[in-house]
Amino acid sequence: MRTLTLLAPGDEFTPPGLELFDATPLIAGVAWFTKPVLLALLSTILVIGFCWSAFGNPKLVPRGVQNVGEMGYMFVRDQVARPFLGKDADRWMGLLLSMFFLVWVWNLMGVIPGLQFPVASHIAFPVVLALSVYFLKIYLGIKHQGAIGYFKNMMFPPGLPKPIYVLLAPIELLSNMIIAPFTHAVRLFANMFAGHIILAFFSLVGFWFLFEKLTPLGAPLGVVGVIMTIAMTGFEMFIQFLQAFLFAMLAAMYIGNSLHPDH
């Protein structure tokens, strides 16, 4: 493994690498049951429990969990669903709200002490969720526009000079059928992957230089590592929320384009 020499010769600091994402089985003989799978199941249970507590028996005057749930509902409705789905927003709120909270909790697992692993930093999880949206948008597009109409509206938007379609049509097909689902998954994965490595790096710098190699040079570096860990944790929590919002927003946009091709 490559090492970085930050102190005197022989004093070597080894930065964290891909070993952070090793998914070893938690139970011998059960290869699929790894830490990411456990945290994904825990996230699902937490989201179901939260939604059940918030909306299972709503009161006229919301309190406690219901109040938090309604704030989340209004945020997703006003910022995600209505801008892209219009009059169909309420119909799709169950899916979009669940997706937003699930991805957010997935991401928050990366900053919870003792867990500290964002589920979406394993590419399989955002890929499965993005593919679900992808197949849903194709199904809705064909259902509401017809198979020919769906691809025609996608590749040949009206109002453009016909020679433009020679270049535009294959670009639109590639963008909608390949690039869009790919970026939908990879954007979430890449941000959580990079954020986890950055937090691990600064926390290791703080621990290593303060406790493993406490020297006149190392102590200030250790303090910087601790400060940066705290600052980057706050920034990462913002990114975790933002990525959940963007994932749900893109899902709403894809669904809306299938339902309302003219938009």
Contact (CB, 8 A) for 144 and 138: no
pLDDT value at position 2? 41
**pLDDT tens digit at each of 263 positions of the chain:** 344 444 444 457 777 778 888 878 888 888 888 999 999 999 999 999 999 999 888 887 778 899 999 999 999 999 999 999 999 999 999 999 999 999 999 999 999 988 889 999 999 999 999 999 999 999 999 999 999 999 998 898 888 888 888 889 999 999 999 999 999 999 999 999 999 999 999 998 888 777 766 666 677 888 888 999 999 999 999 999 999 999 999 999 999 999 987 64
Are the CB atoms for 133 and 251 separated by under 8 Å?
yes
Among candidate residues 9, 20, 11, the one with its CA nearest the CA of residue 221: 11
C-alpha–C-alpha distance, residues 183 and 16, integer Å? 26
Q: Where are the alpha helices (DSSP H) in the chain?
A: 35-55, 64-76, 82-85, 93-108, 124-145, 147-155, 162-174, 180-207, 218-259
Q: Structure pTM?
A: 0.88
Distance between CA 55 and CA 65 in Å, rounded? 9
Q: What is the pLDDT of residue 262?
A: 62
Distance of alpha carbon 10 from alpha carbon 227, whole angstroms:
26
The alpha helices in 109-217, defined as continuous H runs, are 124-145, 147-155, 162-174, 180-207
- Cα separation values, 74 from 35, 78, 140, Å: 33, 6, 25
Q: Token pair of 16, please?
A: 């964290």
Task: Scan for tokens 């692993």, then name that residue.
Answer: 117
Report pLDDT for 159.
Answer: 80
